[in-house]
Structure 1
Amino acid sequence: MRARRMSHAAPLSALLLLAIAADAAAEENPLLLAAAEDSVRWMEEVLVTARKRAELAQDVPISLSVFSGDELRQSGINRVGELALFAPGLSFEETYGRQLDRPVMRGMSTILSGTQIEQNMAFYIDGVFVAGAVSATTLDDVERVEVLRGPQNALFGRTALSGAVNFITHKPSKEFEGRIKATIATHDEYRANVMLSGPLVEERLLFRLNAGYYTYGGEYKNTVTNKTIGGEETKAVATQLQWQISENLSATAKVAYSEDDDEHPPIRLQDSSYNNCFLNTPDQYYCGKVKIFDEVALNTDAVDGGGLRRKTWRTSLMIDWDFDSSRLTSITSYNDEELWAGIDLDGTAINAINGFFQTVDINNFEDFSQEVRLTSPAEARLRWMVGGYYYDFTQDGENIKPQPGDKATDKTENYALFGQLQFDLSDVLTANAEMRAAKDKKSLIRADGVVFRENFTTLNPRLALEYKYRPEILLYATIAKGSKPGGFNSNASLPPELRSFDEERAWNYEAGLKGSWPERRLSYSLSAFYIDWTKQQLTSSFDNPNGRPIIYTQNAGETEVSGIEAELSVQPVDAFYLRANYALVNAEFERFDVAEQAALTGDPSVAGNKTPRAPKHMASLSGTYSVPLGGDWQGYVHGDLTYESKRFAQVHNLAHSGDKVIASLHGGVESGNVGIDLWVKNLFNDKYATSITRYRDFAGFNSFQAPRAFVITLPRGRQFGASATYRF
């Protein structure tokens, strides 16, 4: 252990002092307390299921953010990437449009390659794991979103190494209700959504139906075709049936279907002519903020038009059976996704060399999961949970261009047992222990019949001690282990020692404070953490002497992450509400040797460098001011300002995205059943790189040892729009 690892108690001591100071300030200001007592409690007590049981968010010893459906609507959040701007510690990249997600929680990034689709954090819809991309997931009928920071493997399972995001949808209502919403915006964006909910059989059988349509025309001109590029289209429908079989037994069935049909995404190759550093080396490189181009040059004919076509089915059945002393819950799910994706990167026709820059792939994902858990009552002094989990995932992938017939089948089976104990040591002190024992059976079948098989077994504990300094102030300290299974590199041209990689692990040490003061006119949370992350899975490039370079996954040495996260919500007067957050994340390699680093600098070590795709600073500020207009009508103005510091493209810490500052404004009127909202997003037309992918510039170089180049996914610019909602 290094010396700096021995001071984990210091953050908790500092948080305790903050709690005492805040409490003393309240006691010394009776006017504040009296004013609060005369007012209505402005902020509802939010229930979350972060530990698979309903609890108040302020009582959970986990660093988390909760966003209600109303908050998403107020800020005009329609996609996961927009949501991430308001969640401290979470960054989200859409690489090549909505084809590939690259989320980063607490600086724990990864760079996807091959047939591996696993990220370092996990996404769930109503507690069901989502494999593949979530960037096209509709948020129209979301009741709330829970963003959980730190390892969540103990209760949520595999791939929740750095955290988890759970989208909880609205449940069917006991009374008939409906909603119609329409949006029109610049760049030919149109959205429409219809929701119906109510009883089919009073008190026994309830339904909910949600259907939506979205289209976007794009904003960048493609100089090759002289047409606008980057259009997107989604059609989605979801339905629920909730059956109250008896007083103690209920079942909820959900079926959701969506189709995505996107044009080629707006990406641009920053070729080697822009390289400005290490020019005396064969690779060369680019240092500084990458270029943001006003137009693209893409040969979409070479990739059959490019873009993506995706069809997704998501189904689940949840059964709750209440007993006198416990609740039995069963969640069964089946999901299926068909994906066709085509990408051109340099605008040229396919040939032996630059064909590397055109790819067309077909991937089919299919997964089944079953979870069963037994939970004790929440009121007991000793609270417990035991459960079992099974997950079966299969991916069939085929490369159509540039190498037809390059197929692979990736299969994963996961078996797990998990449990939880919570014991009240006193009226103010509670001890928590969670554990998950899991086994992954992974296999990969290549097109030539070669089969890889490996088993990964792991134990992931989480221990927490929570102290209720006052009923409205919680202090906690946690130790948690997270892991993500290893896997395989399927390319037959790789040497044997590079054809597999190991499980990665992380130990997370954390102290936190949550509270409200006075009478919830102000709510706050603060956490400090340290992560010891080993065997980090990152991609590297193998220079194949017989063809194009091969991207493969390997285990890095060791990475250390430290940081703080803070959130504040305040309503000083009834008409004004303010929410602010900030995260400082310092993620540095402690030990990692990279061949390309040696080629550039003569030293293979990147120790001291930041992890790629991980901003050090993240912040957001949101405010709403509302005024009564007479009758049921109310007017409002809402503003958002978000900030992310630069993200490095790779472990060399040379090319980066630049800072991202996004401002948005909303203004409108609403009554009990009608709402009209006028808005502008990216008010100052900030230009930043949505994503940066390292490539080589083969155009004009008759060699696979061509200089470095970078593929830039271009951002959305300023956009004006209007939305109207009618409820009945």
Structure 2
Amino acid sequence: MRAVSLSVLFVSTSLLLTPIELLAESSDISKSDLVDDNKLIVTAELKDENIMRVPSSITIIDDEVIQLRNAQHFSDLLNLAPNINFATGASRGRFIQIRGIGERSEFSEPVNYSVGVVVDGIDFTGVATGATLLDIQQVEVLRGPQGTLYGANGLAGLINLVSNSPTDSFFANVTTSVEEYGGFGLSGIVSNSLSKQLGYRFAVKKYQSDGYMDNLYLDRDDTNNLDEMSLRGKIVFQPSEQLTLTSNIFLTDVDNGYDAFSLDSNRNTYSDNPGHDKQDTQAASFILDWQINSMKRLETIVSFADSDLEYGYDEDWSHPGICDNTACDSEIWGYDWWYASFDNFSRENENQSIDVRLHSDTTSTISEDMRGASWVIGFYYRNQTMDLLREYTYLDNHFSSQFDTANSAIYGQIKTPLSNQLNIIAGLRFEKRDADYIDSNDVMFNPDENLWGGKIAIEYQYDTDKMIYALVSRGYKNGGFNTEGSLNEKDREYDTEFMWNYEAGIKGYWFEKSLRLQTSVFYQDRDDVQIKQSIVRSLADDRAIQEGGECPCSFTDYTQNATASKSYGVEFEALWRAYDDLSVYSSLGILKTQFEDFQSFTHILADLETIPPVPYNMNGREQAHSPSYQLVLGSHYFISENWRVNPEIEAKDSFYFSDRHEEKSKSYAVFNLRLSYIQTNWQVNLFVNNLTDKDIQTRGFGSFGNDPRKFYETEPYYQFAAPRVVGISASVNFE
């Protein structure tokens, strides 16, 4: 059945071609404009360059797509990029996987992230709940190790958000939206240049929604709500043609609810103490761009981010009296099966960084048609402090920890032309990491590491508008330690993870530039794979629930190293301008992953004091959050000069939720429909997302039971994406 489905996907993709980057276009754009579209500039690389000339797999999603989809958070867009997935272990999908690699949750243990998130030069890795889409120009998704540019946080790839810049003349915008489930958004933007040297842009946005869950016990429909406020400012000062100073300021206040899991695995919850997911962030970056002379350019990025985060949830998902008139009624057993607990994590995350880059900007040439080598050398320093306070019902004393890390690196990249069509690019990064950890259980670690990553790429411009490339890159992720006291000493630390990535692709324009296509194949080889595991402990005496009020099971979470894993696949994006009023787009990701020589201890319920855990052989099993296919197919058709319709299909295969159990999501295909009325300075969009009201599972558990009505029998539980949502947005420009 799966083979048939994949065949259909390939046939469909070959018929419907178009990229994500140009989903929204006006009807008077000619086919030749595809080549010169400024919205295809990648800024996350060491040098800003058109995406069609960058030898790696990258997706750009622009502001028109954001507006058309009424997207509020960057996770609302990730399904548009091939081989990108995310887990909603919080109110937002801030845990990202690229090509099957990435974290899925964060609790007490220090986490090393595989996918970096950067907003205007500010490192938002680990605090991406605040990565809203207020006045964002584009979202860039870089797949594969970013070992040269971003080091340890870029093992799997990078998400880079870039905000809009000040305009040359006065510009203002007001946008509002109303949607089902109490959804409401209102934003305003003002931009201008006070002189030729000084420009500014400020934006503010409020978004709220009741969420998509009903709490039956409290008789409320807003316990899983969204309540987000963002403020963004950008000031650009250019005292001379050679010097540009840019200041970015970003404030966000997130006060979301978290009541996402139901004992019945549907949208009805029973919790008496709903959770929350809060974030208060003040962040800024200051960028200096100095053209020293015709041969050299200096770029300096200084950033800081101070985030207060609080994440808490009702662990029992239930309430007093849930056993009444059921099989677990206390009148039958003489005691109450029900237990109650709440887990709350408060974090203060402070992050400062400086990145200094010296670019060559040579105009010298090797021959009349060929420029000389270009290079970049840089120095990077980052200091991060994370203070954690955990308040848990079953801890005699609150747990607290402090985790300080300092990363310093030198890196460089050189692009050397071998002919007027052939270039070779080589990059290398050396990084040193010092870490200090201490907690209230008197656990201390002070690991230091020296790491390296880099890449070698060959690009061949075999035609004016066509390029083929081959790439070998090496990424890494820092080693770490487990703080759980019940683990053996040998299990307390885990090793650094490394990955080699081999990739080849083709990018270009065909059929008189009416078709733009980029596609790649890749193979990834990971060593010492860091895998999050847990041992589940069962209570021997059910009466302990009544007498001690304890949970019927407890989890010992830890990270271990699997020997290796392999992954390979295909990524495809294309845009076909059939004629002036019709464009068709498609993206496709094909992914195959598997573990090698991996023994998991997760799957057995055990009393740690009496029963040793039995290893489970996961050799050959797929990695978590690695759907074998992802597909987007859609089109933009101008019915008339002002009316545009945008039908779209999103499809994703099933995937394992975790490397700790065997529970999988269901595959799905959803339909989205948007209708737009466009005038010169205003437009209105009517949208229906998930038209057929599919239940889409974004997170799941399968290794424990939590329902006293079923005597805590092990069963799966799910968190769901949004159901069918109908809404309307309107935007007005003032110029």
Of the candidates 95, 120, 128, which is equivalent to residue 122 of structure 2?
A: 128
Rate the CA distance shift 1:355–1:530 in 2: closer, same or farther, 3 A.
Answer: farther
Whether 1:372 aligns to 2:363 is no
Distance 1:439 1:618 in 2: 37
Q: How big is the shift at 1:175?
A: 1.1
Distance 2:315 2:709 in 1: 16
Partner of 1:443: 436
Q: How big is the shift at 1:352?
A: 13
Please list, as runs of the form range in 1=range in 2, the aligned pairs for 1:132-171 lying within 5 A after superposition: 132-171=126-165
In the alignment, residue 463 of structure 1 is paired with which amino acid? I
In the alignment, residue 518 of structure 1 is paired with which amino acid? F
Q: How big is the shift at 1:155?
A: 1.1
Q: How big is the shift at 1:308?
A: 2.1
In the alignment, residue 420 of structure 1 is paired with which amino acid? Q
Whether 1:503 aligns to 2:473 is no
Of the candidates 664, 675, 681, which is equivalent to residue 683 of structure 2?
A: 675
Rate the CA distance shift 1:342–1:354 in 2: closer, same or farther, 3 A.
Answer: farther
Of the candidates 617, 620, 625, which is equivalent to residue 613 of structure 1?
A: 625
Partner of 1:327: 297
Distance 2:177 2:435 in 1: 45
Whether 1:67 aligns to 2:61 is yes
Q: Percent identity?
A: 23
Distance 1:384 1:663 in 2: 46
Please list the CA deviations of residues 514-547 of structure 1 after superposition, one character each: whole Å capped at 9, or x if unmatched.
Answer: 1111342100011111111111111111356998
Partner of 1:691: 699
Whether 1:575 aligns to 2:581 is yes
Q: How big is the shift at 1:700?
A: 4.8
Whether 1:716 aligns to 2:722 is yes
Rate the CA distance shift 1:39–1:47 in 2: closer, same or farther, 3 A.
Answer: closer
Please list, as runs of the form range in 1=range in 2, the aligned pairs for 1:233-248 lying within 5 A after superposition: 233-248=227-242
Please list, as runs of the form range in 1=range in 2, the aligned pairs for 1:422-501 lying within 5 A after superposition: 422-501=415-494
Please list the CA deviations of residues 465-511 of structure 1 after superposition, one character each: whole Å capped at 9, or x if unmatched.
Answer: 11111111111111100111011222233222222211111100111
Distance 2:411 2:458 in 1: 19
> So what's the TM-score if we normalise by structure 1?
0.86
Q: How big is the shift at 1:79?
A: 2.1
Q: How big is the shift at 1:108?
A: 1.6
Please list, as runs of the form range in 1=range in 2, the aligned pairs for 1:305-704 lying within 5 A after superposition: 305-324=274-293, 325-348=295-318, 358-377=342-361, 380-402=371-393, 403=395, 404-543=397-536, 548-597=554-603, 604-629=616-641, 634-651=642-659, 654-697=662-705, 700=708
Please list the CA deviations of residues 331-350 of structure 1 after superposition, one character each: whole Å capped at 9, or x if unmatched.
Answer: 00110111122101433469
Q: How big is the shift at 1:81?
A: 2.3
In the alignment, residue 680 of structure 2 is paired with which amino acid? G
Distance 2:481 2:340 in 1: 22
Please list, as runs of the form range in 1=range in 2, the aligned pairs for 1:39-78 lying within 5 A after superposition: 40-42=32-34, 44=37, 46-78=40-72
Contact 2:460 2:468 in 1 (8 A): yes
Partner of 1:24: none
Q: How big is the shift at 1:211?
A: 0.2
Q: How big is the shift at 1:353?
A: 10
Q: Secondary structure at the match of 1:490?
A: coil
Contact 2:42 2:140 in 1 (8 A): yes
Rate the CA distance shift 1:112–1:487 in 2: closer, same or farther, 3 A.
Answer: farther
Distance 2:557 2:359 in 1: 45
Q: How many residues align?
A: 662
Distance 1:529 1:244 in 2: 42
Of the candidates 268, 271, 281, which is equivalent to residue 295 of structure 1?
A: 268
Rate the CA distance shift 1:587–1:483 in 2: closer, same or farther, 3 A.
Answer: same
In the alignment, residue 41 of structure 1 is paired with which amino acid? D
Q: How big is the shift at 1:110?
A: 3.4
Q: How big is the shift at 1:713?
A: 1.3
In the alignment, residue 232 of structure 2 is paired with which amino acid? A
Q: Secondary structure at the match of 1:531?
A: strand
Please list the CA deviations of residues 389-424 of structure 1 after superposition, one character each: whole Å capped at 9, or x if unmatched.
Answer: 000011111111222420011111100000001000
Please list the CA deviations of residues 612-637 of structure 1 after superposition, one character each: whole Å capped at 9, or x if unmatched.
Answer: 121111110121111444xxxx2111
Please list the CA deviations of residues 555-582 of structure 1 after superposition, one character each: whole Å capped at 9, or x if unmatched.
Answer: 1111000111111111110001111011
Whether 1:252 aligns to 2:246 is yes
Please list, as runs of the form range in 1=range in 2, the aligned pairs for 1:169-248 lying within 5 A after superposition: 169-200=163-194, 202-228=195-221, 229-248=223-242
Distance 1:695 1:356 in 2: 19
Please list the CA deviations of residues 680-699 of structure 1 after superposition, one character each: whole Å capped at 9, or x if unmatched.
Answer: 11111011212113452255
Please list the CA deviations of residues 271-295 of structure 1 after superposition, one character each: whole Å capped at 9, or x if unmatched.
Answer: xxxxxxxxxxxxxxxxxxxxx4141
Rate the CA distance shift 1:124–1:293 in 2: closer, same or farther, 3 A.
Answer: same
Contact 2:75 2:94 in 1 (8 A): no
Q: Secondary structure at the match of 1:81?
A: helix
CA RMSD of aligned residues (A): 2.7
Rate the CA distance shift 1:357–1:565 in 2: closer, same or farther, 3 A.
Answer: farther
Of the candidates 112, 116, 124, which is equivalent to residue 118 of structure 1?
A: 112
Contact 1:590 1:608 in 2 (8 A): yes
